[in-house]
Structure 1
Amino acid sequence: MEVASAVSEFMGYAVEWSPFQQNRLAVATAQHFGVIGTGQQCIFDVVNGQLVNVTTFSCPEGLFDCAWSECNPNHVVSACGNASVRLWDLSGQTPPRIFAEHTAEVYSVDWNLVSKDTFLSGSWDGTVKQWHPGRPSSIRTFQEHTGCIYSSRWSPHRAESFASASGDRTLRIWDQNAPRAAMCIPAHDHEVLTCDWNKYNPNIIATGSVDRTLRIWDLRSQRMLHCLKGHEFAVRRIKMSPHRETVVASAAYDTTVRVWDYAAVDNPLLFQFDKHTEFVLGVDFNLFVEGQLATCAWDNRTFVLQLPVPARGS
């Protein structure tokens, strides 16, 4: 069921719910498909069935991802097309901070869910960098991928662990204190565009690819447990549910958003949303409201959806 929707000036690239306010979300957008032009970091509140714009920050380049701070409810970081990361302050007390060390487009940002004091940026220059919001220079740089990095995600279980997904077709697992990846999994036969950790099991992670599939991996054996098929084009972003251990949402270039239960034997597809008319690049679960999703796409539209919540144990 559609709860609310909004139309932004530019095309949607990423959406993320606030970890502090259950009705607030950030949407990263870019002009002209992110190829040329500017970008906007939009902040919306869900109010009485409507998405109300709280504020919009403008950037001279397109924005490809965003992440809320885990320690300050007014801070959001954005991944920028000009190879920088920007930190915005919703309170207006401080000007935007710019973190500029990458040498190509930054395509991914993610805040540490456990330590809450650092964030990652993943770039088309093939590196992942770790930052502290109060320092102008990165803490560490991780360089091992041989292709663009599309996604970098902190583990929700271990403060020092993160994953990265790349155009080199691999998923890599890292320890922030080690210069080399702890694990390298040839995850797909085509570019790996997205990854996300299971919120209940530290050994389970999911990937999505240009090959149109989602794959669920057990890091202990480095083996694939499940392969979810159904999307007609590349899977651009996946998010694991914070409420159901085996539920995962996917956004794809076939203009659909799908929700799956990978433990279901006969039919893992739980839900399909078809109201977007362009590539869907963003999807996220609301931490506070079970079954609530936000989506964004190149049709400039952001949707908030409420899925039916099955009884526990069903």
Structure 2
Amino acid sequence: MNPARPIPAVLQTPGFAHYSVAWSPFHNSRIALASAANFGLVGNGRLHMVSLIPGVGGSSAVKLDKQYETQDGIYDVAWSELHENQLVTGSGDGTLKLWDILLNNFPIRSWHEHSREVFSVDWSNIKKDTFASSSWDGNVKLWTPEMPRSVTTLHAHLSCVYQALFSPHQPDILATCSTDGTMKIFDLRSPAYATGAATNSFTHPLSAAVLTVPASGAELLSLDWNKYRPFVLATAGVDKMVKVWDCRMIQSANPSAQTIGGVCEVQLPGHEYAVRKVQWSPHHPDLLATASYDMTCRIWSTNPSAGGSKLLQVHDPHTEFAAGCSWSLYDEGLIASCGWDGKLFVFRA
């Protein structure tokens, strides 16, 4: 595709609002969409499988390949890091489902341990047999596809955990964000997680974070790890602000004790309403994308040129809340955005 032709390709899915979009880690043309009827308030869910079709002269199109129905809205989707045709979804009824896109109609596995909505799922790109889910019940659970139940439960927050993400640098580090306005980092190797002979992490959930960052006075809706700088994360939420944090003070003298801190390196004001999604570029250490309830997706630089603006681009064709954005893993300028208007856009930054 030609960078001089930034006209977005668009796909409309009538009746279903999009909550999340994810590019395949194996194929540069596969996209998954997590969707829900009636804006996710009540009704069915749908997983859309989409292909990006390059055209003549740098133009492109997106094509709906397949869709899967669920009894409740789907809030998030993550591709398997092990199997190119598998992916996991989280639903409003507290279930997780594993799908194989070579099969029709039904998931190949389902789990139901969360007592409330599952709002995020994330597949570890280091421990490739492990994925995580976070829920409005305040818990984060770790899973492997072969096991009939979760392998670890974290009592991460007292209220809704909007997102839980594995570190792309260290396999046992996990970050969470919540309605309580904090970002927490968990180290699964910490002595705080040791269990005795009569206990296990399934019946006695773990809860001790090694670092708590009071990132906002309002709800934190999203976070992401920088792909090039370990322990640098971005957060975003209801206060309309995107913040970049240096959390290297996680190296505590007492690893079993909770540390409160983290230094805010950069603040990125500009969105007019809550920021629903933040994601660092997988290709550049200083670029990130955001999606907001102000119906825009924006591209930012944390290290602009002298006299330049940190806000590089505003993508605003959505006519409802922009709920998700995702960078292509293979084409450094390509981004997908999705929203409650039932539209998927693929555009060039």
1:270 counterpart residue number: 312
Two-structure CA RMSD over aligned residues (Å)? 1.2
User: Hey, what's the Cα distance between the residues in 1 that align with 2:49 and 2:188?
Assistant: 31
Structure 2 contact 97–107 (Cα < 8 Å) conserved:
no
Matched, 1:182 2:206: no
Residue identity matched to 1:101? E
Structure 1 contact 5–304 (Cα < 8 Å) conserved:
yes
Q: Select the residue among 170, 175, 178 that pairs with 2:182.
A: 170
1:290 counterpart residue number: 332
2:66 counterpart residue number: 55
Matched, 1:142 2:170: no
Please give the secondary structure, in 2, of the residue aligned with 1:2.
coil
User: Hey, what's the Cα distance between the residues in 1 that align with 2:231 and 2:141?
Assistant: 23
Structure 1 contact 2–303 (Cα < 8 Å) conserved:
no
2:296 counterpart residue number: 256
Question: Which ranges of structure 2 fall in alignment gaps of 5 or more residues?
Answer: 1-5, 194-205, 250-261
* Identical aligned residues as a percent: 38
Residue identity matched to 2:147? R
Matched, 1:84 2:124: no
User: Hey, what's the Cα distance between the residues in 2 that align with 1:37 and 1:75?
Assistant: 25
More deviation, 101-110/259-268: 259-268
User: Hey, what's the Cα distance between the residues in 2 that align with 1:136 and 1:53?
Assistant: 32
Deviation at 1:17, TM superposition (A): 0.3
1:193 counterpart residue number: 221
Question: Which ranges of structure 1 fall in alignment gaps of 5 or more residues?
Answer: 308-314
Deviation at 1:187, TM superposition (A): 0.6
Matched, 1:34 2:45: no
Residue-by-residue CA offset, 1:245-271 (whole Å, 9 max, x unaligned):
011100000000000001226410011
Structure 2 contact 34–76 (Cα < 8 Å) conserved:
yes
Runs of 4+ in 1 over 2 A off after TM superposition: 93-96, 176-179
User: Hey, what's the Cα distance between the residues in 2 that align with 1:144 and 1:58?
Assistant: 30
1:149-168 matches, within 5 Å, as 149-168=161-180
Length-normalised TM-score, structure 1: 0.95
User: Hey, what's the Cα distance between the residues in 2 that align with 1:119 and 1:175?
Assistant: 15
Q: Select the residue among 39, 43, 46 that pairs with 2:49.
A: 43
User: Hey, what's the Cα distance between the residues in 2 that align with 1:144 and 1:302?
Assistant: 32
Residue identity matched to 1:15? V
User: Hey, what's the Cα distance between the residues in 2 that align with 1:114 and 1:8?
Assistant: 34
User: Hey, what's the Cα distance between the residues in 2 that align with 1:145 and 1:271?
Assistant: 34
Please give the secondary structure, in 2, of the residue aligned with 1:33.
helix
Q: Select the residue among 224, 229, 239 that pairs with 2:264.
A: 224
User: Hey, what's the Cα distance between the residues in 1 that align with 2:107 and 2:37?
Assistant: 23
1:14 counterpart residue number: 20
Please give the secondary structure, in 2, of the residue aligned with 1:70.
coil
1:68 counterpart residue number: 79
User: Hey, what's the Cα distance between the residues in 1 that align with 2:327 and 2:125?
Assistant: 15
Residue identity matched to 1:216? V
User: Hey, what's the Cα distance between the residues in 1 that align with 2:24 and 2:150?
Assistant: 24
User: Hey, what's the Cα distance between the residues in 2 that align with 1:81 and 1:171?
Assistant: 23
Length-normalised TM-score, structure 2: 0.86
User: Hey, what's the Cα distance between the residues in 1 that align with 2:8 and 2:331?
Assistant: 12
Residue identity matched to 1:22? N
Give the number of the structure whose alpha-carbon radius of gyration is greater.
Answer: 2
Residue identity matched to 1:6? L
User: Hey, what's the Cα distance between the residues in 2 that align with 1:65 and 1:150?
Assistant: 10
Deviation at 1:95, TM superposition (A): 4.1
More deviation, 171-180/160-169: 171-180
Structure 1 contact 29–41 (Cα < 8 Å) conserved:
yes
